[in-house]
Structure 1
Amino acid sequence: MDFNLDETQQEIKGLVADVLGREATRERLEAFEKSAARPAGERGEPSSRSGPPYDEATWKALAQAGLLGLVLPEDVGGAGLGPVELAVLLREVGLHVAPVPAHASLALAAVPIARHGTAEQRALLAPLAEGATILTGAYREPGPAGEIAATARRDGGGYVLNGVKTFVPYAREASLILVPARVEGAGVGVFLIEPAAAAITGQPSATSEPLSRVALDGVRAGSDVLLGGAADGAAWDTLRRSAVAGAVAISSGVIEGALELTKEYTRTREQFDRALAQFQAVTMQISDVYIAKRALDVAVWAGVWRLAQGADDAEEVLTVAAYNACDPVIKALYTCQHLHGGIGLDVTYPLHRYFAWGRHCAHLLGGADDRLDALGALIASGGAG
């Protein structure tokens, strides 16, 4: 298998890098962070920030370049591309630590809607291609990542949903939340729920990206909001695999950005009249960071390629990538901070963004122990997702 990007994917990478290099500059990121209100304590109350908790200009620029339509169906103005192309986009988002709802809107929502939605449901994606709306999905619940305890009880021609979802990004800002729930007498279905129908409470986040607890207490939903009209688990399988693939792609970009920043710092910072990079101990630590980055890269590209091919072991490989994002990469980010000395903890220096985003992705993925448990279960079951 060849994990080199083809011509189209290289062009996408170049276009995303150009747009984000122009929009997500250090000065813009600093201005955005200064304009954002700080979380109100551990309760995670709503921010008092007047604008949305993402960079609108960057979001619009991605839309104008046609990048938000990469994985959208062609009948709603998209390009109809797949997991590899989405990973290319999200990896650049991580590399530039761009505060945009790309993972929430595309990986958690657009991908499952595009693949499983009815014509009417797919039509809901048209505004996303133009950057006129954002969407999100509820991948996590209390407990291990990827498990579903929420229920959907049949009631006349519709359903009644009960349960709790956690760490849902942009829940208040989204026009729709994709909510997986176990349907009585069937399997797991994914419901397209309006945020106003649920009780949404803010949760602490490592980055400017808002996370929320979404409580479903007798939420009524018509049969037309069940994705694809079926509760056979297929839409949920797509959502959770896409959620993991997107998060590890972002993490891959994050560790590359942190490594590049650290390499430049150790190359130019002098101690005892020598550049830090000339000390053997520093060189060995930089090498450890590079190894962690490469291990994640290989798992990411292998995972999204297998996902695109519909391979049976796609979920197993993505779980390997998730473990790498949750453990070796986090340790590598600590090493980057250590090599920077005190400036590595300074929020006026850009390294803190990479560290925060790395932790953020690891949190959404469930953590290292959780991913090892999931990998063991997949191996024991033969890799079936």
Structure 2
Amino acid sequence: MDFTPTEAQLDLARLTGEICAKLVTADRLRELDTAGRFDEQLWKALAETGVLAAALPEELGGSAFGALEQTAILRELGRCVAAVPYLWSVVLGAGALAKFGDQAQQALAGRAGTGAVVLTAALAEPLRDTTGAPGIIAQGPAWTLTGVATTVPYADRAERILVPATISGRTAVFLVDPAHSSVTRTAQQVVDLSPEFLVEFTDTPAELVGTVESGADILTWLREQAWLGLSAMQLGTLERAVELTAEHTRTREQFGKPLGAFQAVAQRLADAYIDIGGLRLTVTQAAWRVSEDLPTAEAVHTAKFWAAEAGHKVAHTAVHIHGGLGIDRDHTLHNYFTAAKHHEFALGGTTAHLLALGTELAS
């Protein structure tokens, strides 16, 4: 593969980075450090500059860029721990509807690309309902859903939720209006205070995406895109966390020397540098395989494993080297630590993806 970034990657990364640098200051991060964090100003700016619509097809008002460009944007959003639903609304929601949806659903994807509406997806492993049946059950032919989905991001703001459900042992993907009276949304507290909800469906009207026969493929696409997106955001988050830590070791002194002059500190930063290099490589490889329409399961599981493994080690290294400042909720590093822990465990940590990778290799 060619590791040279495309011109579009560089341009989109530069534009996204400039917007984030202008709007997401340390003071703004502290202001947003509350439950249900959402940065309305940043979301509008990304929409107005065309960043949100960049990956949508041209007929939907986009520029038809692919996975490499999307990961470049997500990496920059991770660097500023942006409180916006780009991954869930644009990459997953709009991306799935543009690729698999009918004409009306594609029009909804176009609106998501302008920032006019927010979409999201319920991709965490579903809880069991009171009957003991697994997951969310769909019934037709006038489709309705019954069941529970957990940790659904931005369900409080979403116009529609993409919900995988079971039909007689088969998987299909549906669109659901979360404002319907049969839907109950309960806020959950997650480590980085991002807005995630437990969503309960009781005979909730639903709209099929694609066909029942294509449901498993749509769900696979959604999950792989989500794993890759989380890995790309984790890459940006860890890169910036190490930059903050390196700056701290240059300016903070102990026993008359900068912290970076001590061998133990330098070794931990060197290990963090290597871990981030591994994550960067695997994210780039996975994004390239997606963009080339090659088999992606192994590459995506590998990237998410590195996101979880490196996320744990690098985040803790940054906190430890910062000492007492590392556990101060008012210090900027706090936001990077909590974001890294969120990306580490979201949609599966190290064990889950090692098991999945082993299954792929064995088959």
Q: TM over 0.5: same fold?
A: yes
Where does structure 1 lack aligned partners over 5 or more consecutive residues? 39-46, 48-52
Equivalences for residues 259-338 of structure 1 within 5 A: 259-312=242-295, 314-338=296-320
The answer to whether the 8 Å contact 1:167/1:364 transfers is no
Match of 2:51 in 1: 67
Match of 1:345 in 2: 327
Match of 1:238 in 2: 221
User: Aligned equivalents of 2:198 and 2:102: distance in 1?
Assistant: 28
User: Aligned equivalents of 2:93 and 2:261: distance in 1?
Assistant: 47
1:177 to 136, 153, 161: 161
Shift of 1:73: 2.2
Equivalences for residues 90-129 of structure 1 within 5 A: 90-129=74-113
User: Aligned equivalents of 1:345 and 1:352: distance in 2?
Assistant: 7
- How many pairs does the alignment contain? 354
The percentage of aligned residue pairs carrying the same residue is: 37
Shift of 1:162: 2.3
* Structure 2 residue matching 1:175: 3-state secondary structure: strand
Match of 2:192 in 1: 207
The answer to whether the 8 Å contact 1:99/1:208 transfers is no
Structure 2 residue 175 is the aligned partner of structure 1 residue 159: no
User: Aligned equivalents of 1:134 and 1:242: distance in 2?
Assistant: 17
Where does structure 2 lack aligned partners over 5 or more consecutive residues? 128-133
User: Aligned equivalents of 2:55 and 2:115: distance in 1?
Assistant: 14
The answer to whether the 8 Å contact 1:205/1:211 transfers is yes
The answer to whether the 8 Å contact 2:97/2:106 transfers is yes
User: Aligned equivalents of 1:163 and 1:86: distance in 2?
Assistant: 32
2:124 to 107, 132, 140: 140
Equivalences for residues 358-369 of structure 1 within 5 A: 358-369=340-351
The answer to whether the 8 Å contact 1:108/1:139 transfers is no
Match of 1:50 in 2: none
The answer to whether the 8 Å contact 1:63/1:69 transfers is yes
Shift of 1:129: 2.4
The answer to whether the 8 Å contact 2:94/2:110 transfers is no
For normalisation by structure 1, the TM-score amounts to 0.88
Residues 87-121 of structure 1 deviation map (CA, whole Å, 9 limit, x = unaligned): 11111000011111112212331121111111211
Shift of 1:70: 1.4
Residues 24-81 of structure 1 deviation map (CA, whole Å, 9 limit, x = unaligned): 1112222233xx4x5xxxxxxxx6xxxxx41111100001110000122222211122
User: Aligned equivalents of 2:109 and 2:126: distance in 1?
Assistant: 29
Aligned partner of 1:189: which letter?
A: A
* Structure 2 residue matching 1:61: 3-state secondary structure: helix
Shift of 1:234: 2.1
Structure 2 residue 131 is the aligned partner of structure 1 residue 149: no
* Structure 2 residue matching 1:323: 3-state secondary structure: helix
Structure 2 residue 178 is the aligned partner of structure 1 residue 195: yes
Shift of 1:230: 4.2
Shift of 1:280: 1.1
Match of 1:370 in 2: 352
Residues 304-358 of structure 1 deviation map (CA, whole Å, 9 limit, x = unaligned): 111111212x111111111111123212110110001000111111111111111
Structure 2 residue 240 is the aligned partner of structure 1 residue 257: yes
The answer to whether the 8 Å contact 2:90/2:113 transfers is no
For normalisation by structure 2, the TM-score amounts to 0.93
Residues 241-269 of structure 1 deviation map (CA, whole Å, 9 limit, x = unaligned): 11111111100101001000000000111
User: Aligned equivalents of 2:136 and 2:361: distance in 1?
Assistant: 26
Over the aligned positions, Cα root-mean-square deviation in angstroms equals 1.6
The answer to whether the 8 Å contact 2:147/2:202 transfers is yes
Match of 2:115 in 1: 131
